[in-house]
Amino acid sequence: MTPTVLFVCVHNAGRSQMAAGYLQHLAGDRIEVLSAGSQPADQVNRVAVAAMAEEGIDIAAEQPKVLTESAVREADVVITMGCGDECPFFPGKRYEDWVLDDPAGQGIDAVRPIRDEIRRRVEALVAELIP
């Protein structure tokens, strides 16, 4: 069975989009990837798009999506990123909270280290989920 991972941050515009982009890139179709936000932004953060493009990963076409209960139910692993109490909780799921700086309003030099930390964590997650 293919595991499903849901990345959640408030605006679904930066951190969760970068994480989803990496997971899609590294795992391909071996992991189902979802991302959403409790208050989705109008568009994906341009600086996040640029930072991922440097890694050869195109997230420019992604759209921030609203977090639904069904997305959380579908997911085997729910990874939250700084949305605190706004993230719904369902018993029996594996939850992880990745504490990461918010790239919103930051320049590319500030976003690269956030991107690189997300990559490290996604690589570790892939290693756990796909033995």
By annotation, the residues acting in catalysis are: 9, 83, 87
Q: Which residue has the tokens 């320049």?
A: 107
Helix 108-129 vs helix 46-53: angle between axes, to the nearest 10 degrees? 60
**What are the Cα distances from residue 30, in Å, to 24, 63, 126?**
9, 22, 9
Q: Which residue has the tokens 């033995």?
A: 131
